[in-house]
C-alpha cells in the first residue's frame, strides 16, 4: 500500500466525497488550492475524476459520476480478497486513473504482470501517462470492453474488477487458472446495496464464492440501469385497472425489504425489479416497486391506524413477489448477505445460501 503514491495518479481537478452530506461537492483544483487538493488526496475518500462519460464541464458535479479514484481502504479490502502473489499475472477491469493496477503490480513484482482494460479511450490514455510517470513498467493498458476480458495475456492468476457488476462474464472465469480468485462489487437492480464478491475458479470451468462487506462502485457502462420516470409506470389513472392486495405486515416488517440485509436477500430472489421507498409530508410511508422487464408496478402504503393499502398493476404482481421473498428470508432466520454466494458457469449463474451444494436458485440477469 505504501509502495504506490496515490497523488501520482490523481488529476488536477477532482470532486471529493463529503461523508457528512453523502454527496460530491464542487471541484477542487490543484492549481488554485494545492493545500486543499493534497488534503483530499490524502484522505480515505473516493474522488470523482470524470462525470457523464467525459461530457461534463464546469466546477459543479455532473449528473452521473463515471470515473473515480476509489477509497484507499476499499481498494485494500479488494486486494486482500484477491491475494495477489509475486510473479502472478493479473487482469484488472476498469483502469480509471491507473492507481489500482499499479498497486497490484507493486505486489506482483518485476516478475509479475498486470493487464488492465479500460472502455474509455481518453481515460486509458491518461492512465498510461500516469503509470509511465510513476515508473510502473509491468502494467499494460488495453482500450476495450472489460466484459470480454483479454484472452491474449491469459491465463491469469486472478481478476480484479473495479466497476459495479450485475452479470458476471464467464470469460473472466475461462481466462483464469484453477484456484484463481475473481473479486468484484456485485449487486442486483433491486437496491443500491452492493457487496464484495470473491469467487474461486474451479477445475470444472465454474467459479464460486461468498459475499463479503458492503462495497459500491460505479456500474460497468454496459450494465447501467436507466430508471424510467415514475409516470411511465404509474400515469394518471394507473390504478383503475389495478389489483388490490392484502398484507398483514407492519411498516417495521415491510421496511426489511428495503434494508441492507433484507433488501439484498429480496433482490437475489425477485428478478428484474427495483424498489423506491417514499415518505409524505404527513409522515405516511410507502414502498413503490417497478419491473425492469415490463411496466408492472406496485404500491404499498403504510400508516399506524390500519393495514397497508396495496395496489398492483401490469403483468406481474410485484408486491406479492417481494412479500414472498421477504417471508422466505424471515423463515430462514433473516440471513445476512455474507451467508449468500454465487456460482458462475458457462450457461448459468446461481445464487445460494450457506453453501454451493445447499439451497440454490438460478438468477435471471440482464
Q: Which residue has the higher pLDDT, 58 or 227?
A: 58
pLDDT on residue 283: 61
In this structure, the answer to whether residues 158 and 265 fall within a common structural domain is no
| DSSP code for 228 | P
In this structure, the answer to whether residues 125 and 188 fall within a common structural domain is yes
Of 223, 244, 270, the domain-final residue: 223
Burial degree of 259 (CB within 10 A; 0-12, 13-18, 19+)? middle
In this structure, the answer to whether residues 127 and 242 fall within a common structural domain is no
Residue 298 lies in a domain: yes
pLDDT digit string, tens, across residues 4-17? 899 999 999 999 99
pLDDT digit string, tens, across residues 100-122? 999 999 999 999 999 999 999 99
Residue 358 lies in a domain: no
In this structure, the answer to whether residues 152 and 214 fall within a common structural domain is yes
Residue 267 lies in a domain: yes
pLDDT digit string, tens, across residues 29-42? 999 999 999 999 99
CB atoms within 10 A of CB 229: 8
Residue 215: all three cell numbers together = 462495497
129, 161, 165 from 101: Cα distances, Å: 13, 10, 18
* Residues classed as catalytic: 70
In 3D space, the residue among 180, 139, 189, 135 whose CA is nearest the CA of residue 364 turns out to be 189
On the question of pLDDT at 280 being above 80, the answer is: no
What DSSP string describes 325-360?
HHHHHHHTT---GGGEEEEE-SS-EEEEES-TTSSE
Phi and psi at residue 222, to the nearest 5°: -75, -10
pLDDT on residue 1: 62
The CATH number given to whatever domain includes residue 252 is 3.30.160.690
- Asked if residue 166 lies in contact with residue 188, where contact means CB atoms within 8 angstroms, the answer is yes
31, 80, 171 from 73: Cα distances, Å: 27, 10, 28
pLDDT on residue 281: 61
Spatial separation of the C-alpha atoms in residues 45 and 15, rounded to whole Å: 10
Average pLDDT over residues 203-223: 94
CB atoms within 10 A of CB 361: 11
Phi and psi at residue 157, to the nearest 5°: -85, -10
In this structure, the answer to whether residues 82 and 31 fall within a common structural domain is no
| Domains contained in the chain, number | 3
Query: Using omega within 30 degrees of 0 as the cis cutoff, is the peptide bond preceding 71 cis?
Result: no
In this structure, the answer to whether residues 283 and 149 fall within a common structural domain is no
- Asked if residue 13 lies in contact with residue 29, where contact means CB atoms within 8 angstroms, the answer is yes
Q: Confidence class of residue 365 from pLDDT cuts 50, 70 and 90?
A: low
On the question of pLDDT at 93 being above 70, the answer is: yes
pLDDT digit string, tens, across residues 117-164? 999 999 999 999 999 999 999 999 999 999 999 999 999 999 999 999
In this structure, the answer to whether residues 246 and 292 fall within a common structural domain is yes
Residue 59 lies in a domain: yes
In this structure, the answer to whether residues 53 and 195 fall within a common structural domain is no
β-strands 89-93, 156-161: how paired? parallel
Residue 128 lies in a domain: yes
In this structure, the answer to whether residues 203 and 251 fall within a common structural domain is no
Of 184, 208, 223, the domain-final residue: 223
pLDDT digit string, tens, across residues 294-326? 999 999 998 766 678 999 999 999 999 999 999
| DSSP code for 44 | S
Domain that holds residue 20: 6-69
In this structure, the answer to whether residues 42 and 111 fall within a common structural domain is no
Residue 352 lies in a domain: no
pLDDT on residue 315: 95
Q: How many residues does the chain have?
A: 366
Phi and psi at residue 251, to the nearest 5°: -60, -40
Residue 246 lies in a domain: yes
Percentage of the chain beyond pLDDT 70 is 97
In this structure, the answer to whether residues 118 and 162 fall within a common structural domain is yes
Of 52, 69, 86, the domain-final residue: 69
70, 83, 89, 139, 173 from 199: Cα distances, Å: 21, 12, 17, 23, 9
Residue 235 lies in a domain: yes
In this structure, the answer to whether residues 47 and 90 fall within a common structural domain is no
Spatial separation of the C-alpha atoms in residues 337 and 198, rounded to whole Å: 13
The CATH number given to whatever domain includes residue 185 is 3.40.50.150
Burial degree of 235 (CB within 10 A; 0-12, 13-18, 19+)? exposed
CB atoms within 10 A of CB 118: 28
Amino acid at each position: 500500500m505504501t509502495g504506490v503514491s496515490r497523488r501520482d495518479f490523481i488529476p488536477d481537478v477532482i470532486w471529493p466525497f463529503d461523508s457528512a452530506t453523502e454527496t460530491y461537492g464542487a471541484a477542487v483544483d490543484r492549481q488554485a488550492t494545492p493545500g486543499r487538493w493534497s488534503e483530499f488526496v490524502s484522505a480515505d475518500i473516493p474522488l470523482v475524476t470524470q462525470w457523464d462519460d467525459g461530457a461534463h464541464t464546469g466546477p459543479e458535479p455532473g449528473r452521473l459520476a463515471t470515473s473515480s479514484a476509489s477509497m484507499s481502504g476499499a481498494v485494500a479490502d479488494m486486494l486482500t480478497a484477491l491475494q495477489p502473489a509475486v510473479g502472478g499475472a493479473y487482469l484488472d477491469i476498469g483502469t480509471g486513473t491507473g492507481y489500482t493496477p499499479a498497486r497490484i503490480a507493486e505486489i506482483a513484482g518485476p516478475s509479475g504482470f498486470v493487464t488492465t482494460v479500460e472502455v474509455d479511450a481518453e481515460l486509458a490514455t491518461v492512465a498510461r501517462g500516469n503509470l509511465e510517470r510513476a515508473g510502473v513498467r509491468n502494467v499494460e493498458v488495453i482500450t476495450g470492453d472489460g466484459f470480454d476480458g483479454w484472452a491474449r495475456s491469459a491465463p491469469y492468476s486472478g481478476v480484479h474488477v473495479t466497476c459495479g457488476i450485475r452479470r458476471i462474464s464467464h470469460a473472466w472465469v475461462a481466462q483464469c487458472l484453477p484456484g484463481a480468485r475473481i473479486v468484484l462489487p456485485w449487486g442486483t437492480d433491486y437496491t443500491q446495496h452492493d457487496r464484495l464478491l470473491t469467487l474461486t475458479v474451479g477445475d470444472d470451468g465454474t467459479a464460486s464464492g461468498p459475499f463479503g462487506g458492503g462495497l459500491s462502485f460505479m456500474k460497468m457502462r454496459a450494465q447501467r440501469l436507466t430508471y424510467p420516470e415514475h409516470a411511465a409506470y404509474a400515469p394518471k389513472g394507473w390504478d383503475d385497472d389495478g389489483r388490490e392486495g392484502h398484507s398483514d405486515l407492519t411498516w417495521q416488517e415491510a421496511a426489511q425489504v428495503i434494508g441492507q440485509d433484507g433488501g439484498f436477500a429480496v433482490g437475489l430472489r425477485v428478478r428484474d425489479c427495483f424498489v423506491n421507498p417514499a415518505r409524505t409530508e404527513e409522515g405516511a410511508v410507502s414502498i413503490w416497486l417497478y419491473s425492469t422487464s415490463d411496466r408492472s408496478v406496485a404500491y404499498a402504503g403504510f400508516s399506524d391506524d390500519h393495514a397497508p393499502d396495496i395496489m398492483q398493476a401490469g403483468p406481474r404482481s410485484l408486491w406479492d413477489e417481494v412479500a414472498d421473498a421477504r417471508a422466505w428470508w424471515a423463515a430462514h432466520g433473516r440471513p445476512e448477505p455474507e451467508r449468500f454466494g454465487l456460482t458462475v458457469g458457462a450457461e448459468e449463474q446461481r445464487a445460494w445460501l450457506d453453501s454451493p451444494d445447499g439451497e440454490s436458485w438460478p438468477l435471471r440477469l440482464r
